[in-house]
Structure 1
């Protein structure tokens, strides 16, 4: 019809993170196009044109898939997953689309580049060294001082992140990684925090600070989660300031961030920052506390719109707790109603069910279920975590008929395990 505005074409790179797609599919002013893995394509085909790739981090494959989808008139490109950020930035530059350029995306996704920018900006950080392979590890660790934390320069979800002593051999998985490695001096952490923000026109227009229940170093952490900090906590203002400085140091003009920092010996240190919403239940907990939808802001900033967040402190402490999952065939798992009855829990979703075959690579967001809660104090938040751990039961046995093409690399572990809060 004459005078009607053509829908803005939005190319989304995603796997199972469907939140931004749902927002786009419900917006008559947007036309979503999706590049995803084959295992997730069915989730999007009814409402969008879809192309599949084996790996969202394969820049060439994503470029070619985008060429088959896009044609003319592309307005925005965004990646909902960490692995797809560089591919999205390359396609954005390749098609002349506004948004985060490739070099900025590199700074947000390669930890060695990121940390060098943080050092250059004079921000407090953990001493580190970037190495090209494990043959350089002894030299770097000797310079930093044992023990050390070793991680891939490109990665997410705490995968392949290990703490090593001088006499501890590194796992073979690190040797197989194609990316460089980052070696950090191990620090005894008093509190680990995350700051989740929205950036528009080069300014942080919203930021929320939360505290993890425990250190996110090992993907084997049980009942991982976080809760929003009371404004009276001095760490809230300090972390916001550190976040604002990190955004400036890395040159972000618009987008959504998830920064991690920690307190050690009375000092607040920068750890890492990503240019996408946090995983687990971070988005829901912030929405419950502040009324700000980070996925909606993610879509708005990608399109070049003003996200216009209107935060309103809902009071109390909101948070989330992941119920640990395990690979194999699920034989017994806690009843959702029993867990939802824990005082303070406002919503509980179970991802695993009896008889289900589970084959996934362990990460910090590998859960059998997710609980959201609201309480008055951080102390009560820890009480919710303890009570969920006490009630939760998961029993599995080996899967003798594994999927021929599991979506993620299966984790190896004890053949039969029982998880309880005991």
Structure 2
């Protein structure tokens, strides 16, 4: 089978490994990037449109489809979900409809869909000005969450504790979303709904990450992972643990909540990355993305729950039901983390043999390449890569992960001492 993968704007080499993995299932992957580098994929299966405009991307996809007769269109990128839906529709291939894709991309439209469908969510308000944000925060009670409607990767997401802090963070977030499109690279020429800010009530319980599948009337929680981050105010340092500590009753609650939300969002045949957080003993939806989660969650799902989100993406792209089951842990203990560094221009990332060759490591991906720009909150949330370790217990896996992470060295060609200095190199 021939699969067409799309990125409106190439995001470094972040998704290359997933395209390669999709080919291990016996398919051939062709990559169409709106803009990007010439050497990203084998030349005979790679095209650059030279534009992020959705009409240009669709036109080139149609030309290529006439030659190759693709069997499906896929993406692993948050900012490509809407473009892929539009291309699949234009080519007459399986895919979620464009409206569902937009509701999966825009957090404000997503919240409205959840309300209509009766899915449990935090209180929220779309805020155009600081006074609106202050009013919402006063009503909900501090702390609150401030986030972009069209964000991803925790860019410009803040936990805000006071009116004074809201004034500071609101300005940072408002300035940030002005160039967020350049960072996340959605296709141009599509109406993705309001591009602004939300204030949400804070949910004070634990958070869980789910790799799932919606197939017709059923929703499957393929993998459930605990987020164990020592939380700050920027939500940029994800650390995960599996198997989940949730009991059967809470898992049933989560399944009901995610099912309501997925159907409200319009996801009938789709992979899903769902984020759920408890509050007063009940699960609330943070979001459902219509793509596979990042941070190595595909490897975690396979190892700890025998669920393969990459294979599910491929199967659904081809219009067939994936091999999926309701959540059933394998019993393997893992911890995994995003590798975070200081800001700067990367010269080299050095991984010692002790880490690279350890049988305790199940996940090691260095996504940052020489010359890449690393940005830190509030200007951005670029990571170096991912590290995951396994053990006979949570404690063993966690201690090994932290020890190995401390031994990975990042050398900078141009360290940034201030946000303005880093932006000069952008």
TM-score (normalizing by structure 1): 0.79
SS at match of 2:94: coil
Higher relative contact order (CA 8 A, sep 6+): 2
Cross-structure match for 1:211: 226
207-216 vs 189-198, which moves further: 207-216
SS at match of 1:268: strand
Cross-structure match for 1:299: 314
39-48 vs 159-168, which moves further: 39-48
- Deviation at 1:300? 0.4
> What is the alpha-carbon root mean square deviation over aligned residues?
3.6
Cross-structure match for 2:297: 282
- Deviation at 1:62? 2.4
1:359 and 2:354 equivalent?
Answer: no
SS at match of 2:304: helix
Q: Is the contact between residue 333 and residue 394 of structure 1 (CA under 8 Å) also seen in structure 2?
A: yes
Tell me which of 57, 64, 70 is aligned to 1:69. Answer: 64
1:13-412 alignment runs, 5 A limit: 13-14=6-7, 15=10, 16-23=14-21, 25=23, 30=27, 32-55=29-52, 58-71=53-66, 73-132=69-128, 134=130, 136-164=132-160, 165-168=162-165, 169=168, 170-175=170-175, 177=177, 179-187=194-202, 189-214=204-229, 221-222=236-237, 224-230=239-245, 232=247, 235-309=250-324, 313-328=329-344, 335-339=351-355, 344-351=360-367, 356-362=370-376, 366-388=382-404, 391-392=406-407, 394=409, 396-397=411-412, 399=414, 412=419
- Deviation at 1:275? 0.7
Unaligned runs of 5+ in 2: 179-193
- Deviation at 1:162? 1.9
Unaligned runs of 5+ in 1: 1-7, 403-409, 416-422
339-348 vs 101-110, which moves further: 339-348
| Cα distance per residue 1:376-399 (max 9 Å; x no partner) | 44444443454446x346465561
**Paired residues, what number?**
394
- Deviation at 1:280? 0.8
Q: Is the contact between residue 324 and residue 368 of structure 1 (CA under 8 Å) also seen in structure 2?
A: yes
85-94 vs 356-365, which moves further: 356-365
Classify 1:140/1:365 alpha carbon distance in 2 versus 1 (closer, same or farther; 3 Å).
closer
Q: Which whole-Å CA distance do the structure 2 matches of 1:96 and 1:321 have between them?
A: 39
Classify 1:377/1:387 alpha carbon distance in 2 versus 1 (closer, same or farther; 3 Å).
same
310-319 vs 147-156, which moves further: 310-319
Cross-structure match for 1:3: none
Classify 1:155/1:53 alpha carbon distance in 2 versus 1 (closer, same or farther; 3 Å).
farther
- Deviation at 1:253? 1.5
Classify 1:198/1:40 alpha carbon distance in 2 versus 1 (closer, same or farther; 3 Å).
farther
TM-score (normalizing by structure 2): 0.78
- Deviation at 1:329? 5.3
Q: Which whole-Å CA distance do the structure 1 matches of 2:176 and 2:238 have between them?
A: 29
- Deviation at 1:238? 2.9
- Deviation at 1:174? 2.0
Greater share of residues in helix: 2
SS at match of 1:171: helix
